[in-house]
Structure 1
Amino acid sequence: MDFSALALSPPLLQVLQELEFPTATPIQAQSIPVLLKGKDLVGQAKTGSGKTAAFSLPILQRIQLQHRRLQALVLCPTRELCTQVAGELRRLGRRLPGLQVLVLAGGQPVRPQVNALEKGAHVAVGTPGRILDLLQRESLDTRQLATVVLDEADRMLDMGFREDMERILGATPPTRQTVLFSATFPPDIEKLSRAFQKQPTRVTVVDEEAAPDIQQLCYTCAPEEKTAVLLRILRQYQPTSAIVFCNLKATVVELTRALVEAGVSADGLQGDLEQIDRDRVMAKFRNHSIRVLIATDVAGRGIDVEALDAVINFDLPSQSEPYVHRIGRTGRAGRRGLAISLATPSDEHKVETIEHDTKVQLERASVETLPPAGSARGASLESAWETLLIFAGRKDKMRPGDILGALTGEAGGLSASDVGKIEIHDHLAYVAVARRLVNVALQRLRDGRIKGRKQRIERVR
């Protein structure tokens, strides 16, 4: 269905045209007309189905820009997902003058968020814990809320946020529109819907496309051999971008240290990291300054990276659903994906459960076929890129073009092909630079100016 058939406002249609969104996805075509009428909705769709735009466009259409007060609240399970959703709202709403979208997530100081709320905002995207904290501080005024969205509601329930979600919904006006998006529909979601929604429309989008083409391999080895086997797997398959999943935070820390010591371009993501460190790791992974990201399921939620070559299960999950969720990050956009699992002899029951539930037989592969430990075969697992951190961001009016111009202009002297992804945050910016030129780029940026001003710049390790 074409977006022009969905009764969206001219500014939104203009942005969709500029972003080259030609037609609505099934979840968008079915959800947007319902949401524009102000009705409650339960949407069941997988990640990557376009659900963020499905609820963002109706929110943006109904915002009264002249009233700088909170009119819509989106709850997400993780900080990363909050940032993604807020980014999409800002992108789709860029033709709406004065639109204010706030991220209210834990892991960051609460005071700046309180100050931002005092200045007024139209939309807030937050994690349940921080939203509840702000409600208890009486810093969050919910009286004018017209819409509340629970994004990835099943994940929030899995993470133990049920009580928080119920308390937050209980603190919002009974006249609100309540929108619930979930990849699965367990009984708890049904219960939540019955308690807090008014005759919701149910929209379910079954993947009409063929299942993603993912080669699923399984290597069996002893527990003490897993790290060595993982290194051999990385040397064999040479992924430019891979996520390695572990079940425990401690494993993430140990494995990250072991891979880095072995010369692999890697970093870890686990729940104890401060937000600034999580942002740093994710920026490096997105811009390919690190090739391997090691994460737990909780830390890995909300991570959506384009063109992921491989997903490796260093530890197999106990249930099939996390397995499916993990491997679904590879094999997108028509590319063949690769999912590799390391199984110890005692993991056989896990493998059988996954095969039974997914109705897919994992391809048993032999460790003997991998390059031997210490082999030069497959060469380096370092990255061709490094990241520079600039201490100025969106709130300082910094734009990607300013950074690119400083690096490739007369003072910088780099060619555009030596500059990779540029990522702008509120008060920071990350830029990938060819590793062989990183010292030159760092010195020239420090000696020169960006937007006519000297900026503090650091190399991200």
Structure 2
Amino acid sequence: MDFSALALSQPLLQVLEELDFKVVTPIQAQSIPVLLQGRDLIGQARTGSGKTAAFALPILEKLQLQQRRLQALVLCPTRELCAQVAGEFRRLGRRLPGLQILVLAGGQPVRPQVNALEKGAHVAVGTPGRILDLLQREALDTSRLATVVLDEADRMLDMGFREDMERILGATPLIRQTVLFSATFPPTIEAMSRAFQKEPTRVTVVEAEAASDIQQLCYACAPEAKTEILLRVLRHHQPNSAIVFCNLKATVVELTRALAAAGVSADGLQGDLEQSERDRVMAKFRNHSTRILIATDVAGRGIDVEALDAVINFDLPSQPEPYVHRIGRTGRAGRRGLALSLVTLADERKVVDIEDATGVTLERASVDALPPADPKGGVSLKAAWETLCISAGRKDKMRPGDILGALTGEAGGLSAAHIGKIEIQDHLAYVAVSKDLVRVALQRLREGRIKGRKHRIDWVR
């Protein structure tokens, strides 16, 4: 199906054409017509299936832009996912005059969010805890909400947000459109749908199909040898960008320390990190200053990184669905993906369950063919980039071109080839610079100006 076949207005169709959105994904084809009709929907789809556009486009289509009041609310489990979803709304709605999208998430001061709400917005994307806080402060007016979306609903339940979600939904109008997206369908999701939705349309994108373009290998190993085997697997496959999944926060901490000691460019993401530290870790991973990200399922939820070479299961999850959700992050945009799993004797039952659920047989790879864990004379797993942080962001009118210009202009003197991804957040910006030129870039940014102003510049270690 082509997007022009959907009942979308010309500004949205023009943006889709500009962004080179040609073919409607299965979740979009099944969801958008239902949501444009104002009906409730419960959808099952993995990360990377296009589900954000599936609910964002109908919301944008129905907004009354001349009325600067909250008309749609999207709940997400993490601040990272909130930022991604809000970014997609802004990208798809860039030809809608006056469109205002707010991120209302924890880990940030609440006062600027209250001030932004007072000025008015059309769509809010937030975490349950912060949304509930704003409701209790009577800073968030939900009386005219037309649509509420629960994105990654199963993960919000896993994180203990059930009561918050129910209280938020209870504070919205009885007559509303309720949209629920979830990667899995445990009984708690079914119960929430029955309680808060009215005759929802059920849309499911078969998960087994999601894994069809991903090479899935497993390496048999003893539990005590897993870290060594992981190092050997990394040196053999040499991913520039990979996520390693663990089942426990303690494992993330231990493994991050072990890989760093072995000379691997690695960082960890787990639930005990402060929000500023999570932002730092994710910025470095997205711009390839960190090659290997080690994460738990909960901490890793909402991570959406372009060109992910591999997903590695250091620990296999207890059920097939999280496995499929994990590996769905690799092999996108027509590229063949790679999923690697370390399997102990105790994991054999899990492997059988995964194969039965997906209809795909995991290929048994030989540990004997792997190089030694010791890097001497072998492949380096260090990153080619370093990250600089600039103390100004989107709210300060900072743009990627401003930073690129400061680095490559007369004062900076660097070549554009030595500048990597530039990421603009609300009040910070991150720029990747070639490792061998990072000290030069740091000095020149500190000595110079960006848009005529001095800013604090930090080297993000």
So what's the TM-score if we normalise by structure 1? Answer: 0.94
Q: Which moved more, 1:417-426 or 1:19-28?
A: 19-28
**Structure-1 residue corresponding to 2:147:** 147
Amino acid of the residue matched to residue 92 of structure 1?
L
**Structure-2 residue corresponding to 1:382:** 382
1:212 touches 1:334 (CA, 8 Å); kept in 2? no
How many Å separate the matches in 2 of 1:292 and 1:316? 18
Aligned residue pair count = 461
For each residue in 1:260-308, what CA deviation from the matched residue of structure 2 results, as whole angstroms up to 9, or x when unmatched? 1211111111111111211111111111111100111110111111211
For each residue in 1:79-132, what CA deviation from the matched residue of structure 2 results, as whole angstroms up to 9, or x when unmatched? 221111000011111122322211112233333322322232211111222222
Amino acid of the residue matched to residue 126 of structure 1?
G
Deviation at 1:206, TM superposition (A): 4.1
Say yes or no: does 1:44 pair with 2:31. no
**Structure-2 residue corresponding to 1:189:** 189
2:184 touches 2:321 (CA, 8 Å); kept in 1? no
**Structure-1 residue corresponding to 2:325:** 325
Amino acid of the residue matched to residue 119 of structure 1?
K
2:143 touches 2:173 (CA, 8 Å); kept in 1? yes
**Structure-1 residue corresponding to 2:244:** 244
RMSD: 2.0
How many Å separate the matches in 2 of 1:177 and 1:356? 36
Instruction: Give secondary structure in 2 for the equivalent of 1:316.
Output: coil
Deviation at 1:220, TM superposition (A): 2.6
1:69 touches 1:122 (CA, 8 Å); kept in 2? yes
How many Å separate the matches in 2 of 1:27 and 1:293? 28
Q: Which moved more, 1:64-73 or 1:36-45?
A: 36-45
Q: What aligned pairs does 1:293-442 form with structure 2 within 5 A after superposition?
A: 293-442=293-442
Instruction: Give secondary structure in 2 for the equivalent of 1:91.
Output: helix
**Structure-2 residue corresponding to 1:221:** 221
Q: What aligned pairs does 1:283-294 form with structure 2 within 5 A after superposition?
A: 283-294=283-294
1:385 touches 1:435 (CA, 8 Å); kept in 2? yes
Deviation at 1:55, TM superposition (A): 1.1
Amino acid of the residue matched to residue 406 of structure 1?
A
Deviation at 1:2, TM superposition (A): 2.9
Deviation at 1:339, TM superposition (A): 1.6
Deviation at 1:208, TM superposition (A): 10
Amino acid of the residue matched to residue 157 of structure 1?
L
How many Å separate the matches in 1 of 2:32 and 2:20? 18
Amino acid of the residue matched to residue 119 of structure 2?
K
**Structure-1 residue corresponding to 2:179:** 179
Instruction: Give secondary structure in 2 for the equivalent of 1:139.
Output: coil
Deviation at 1:182, TM superposition (A): 2.6
Deviation at 1:78, TM superposition (A): 2.0
How many Å separate the matches in 1 of 2:395 and 2:372? 51
Say yes or no: does 1:230 pair with 2:247. no
| Identity rate, percent | 83
How many Å separate the matches in 1 of 2:177 and 2:210? 34
Instruction: Give secondary structure in 2 for the equivalent of 1:304.
Output: coil
Closer/same/farther in 2, CA of residues 166 and 313 from structure 1, 3 Å limit = same
Deviation at 1:407, TM superposition (A): 1.1
How many Å separate the matches in 1 of 2:140 and 2:12? 28
**Structure-1 residue corresponding to 2:269:** 269
For each residue in 1:55-83, what CA deviation from the matched residue of structure 2 results, as whole angstroms up to 9, or x when unmatched? 11121122222322211100112222111
How many Å separate the matches in 2 of 1:337 and 1:32? 28
How many Å separate the matches in 1 of 2:189 and 2:443? 54
- Which 5+ residue runs of structure 2 have no aligned equivalent? none
Instruction: Give secondary structure in 1 for the equivalent of 2:413.
Output: coil
For each residue in 1:347-391, what CA deviation from the matched residue of structure 2 results, as whole angstroms up to 9, or x when unmatched? 333333333433433333333322223243542111111111111
Deviation at 1:256, TM superposition (A): 1.0
Closer/same/farther in 2, CA of residues 36 and 363 from structure 1, 3 Å limit = closer
Q: What aligned pairs does 1:129-144 form with structure 2 within 5 A after superposition?
A: 129-144=129-144
For each residue in 1:386-439, what CA deviation from the matched residue of structure 2 results, as whole angstroms up to 9, or x when unmatched? 111111110011111111111111111111111111110001111111111111
Amino acid of the residue matched to residue 438 of structure 1?
V
2:48 touches 2:329 (CA, 8 Å); kept in 1? no
How many Å separate the matches in 1 of 2:389 and 2:94? 26
Amino acid of the residue matched to residue 235 of structure 1?
R
Say yes or no: does 1:121 pair with 2:117. no
How many Å separate the matches in 2 of 1:264 and 1:358? 32
Deviation at 1:211, TM superposition (A): 4.2
1:244 touches 1:312 (CA, 8 Å); kept in 2? yes
So what's the TM-score if we normalise by structure 2? Answer: 0.94
How many Å separate the matches in 2 of 1:205 and 1:312? 24
Deviation at 1:45, TM superposition (A): 2.8
Say yes or no: does 1:80 pair with 2:116. no
Structure 1: which 4+ aligned runs deviate by more than 6 Å? Answer: 207-210
Instruction: Give secondary structure in 2 for the equivalent of 1:371.
Output: coil
Instruction: Give secondary structure in 2 for the equivalent of 1:441.
Output: helix
How many Å separate the matches in 1 of 2:251 and 2:124? 35
